[in-house]
Amino acid sequence: MPTCQKCKSQEAIYAAQIINEEPIFSLPGSHIKAFPVGEVCDDCRIEIKEDHANGLPHPLTAEEMFNLPDWWKDNRGGWENPKVDIRNYRPSICFIWEVSEKSYHRWKSDGGLCQEYQNRFYIA
Ligand SMILES: [Zn+2]
């Protein structure tokens, strides 16, 4: 059985597609052939639907990036897991996404660059 591409732990049950910016889930074989397809488990299907209903994940605009604390000016901005000197980053070459708390914790445990700020969650 295929493994879920999102949590990479549970068995994938659904074919997941983004069609007209809406996440669509179907059983494998009955998905729409013309669109790219991923495979996810039931927990991740629910999480994706909830995130979508909350407008997440969404990529930050340049203005939103500037409003995060100490973004590239120095290294005290609350970014966790920096693997490089993030003072050298510029918003134009690094995308930041606002995500759900659950996605943030998964990203964080995977060693991804992330920060929590004012009860909102960001990954880069
Ligand atoms: Zn999953």
pTM over 0.85: no
How close is the Cα of 7 to the center of ligand 1, in Å? 4
pLDDT score for 93: 47
Q: How far is the CA of 12 from the centre of ligand 1 (A)?
A: 7
Strand partners, 16: 25, 38
Q: Is the peptide bond before 82 cis (omega within 30 degrees of 0)?
A: no
Residue 117 near residue 68, CB atoms below 8 Å:
yes
**pLDDT tens, residue by residue, 64-115:** 877 776 554 445 556 778 776 655 555 444 678 899 998 899 889 988 888 8
C-alpha 110 – ligand 1 centre gap (Å): 15
Ligand 1 centroid to 13 CA: how many Å?
Answer: 9
DSSP state of 112: -
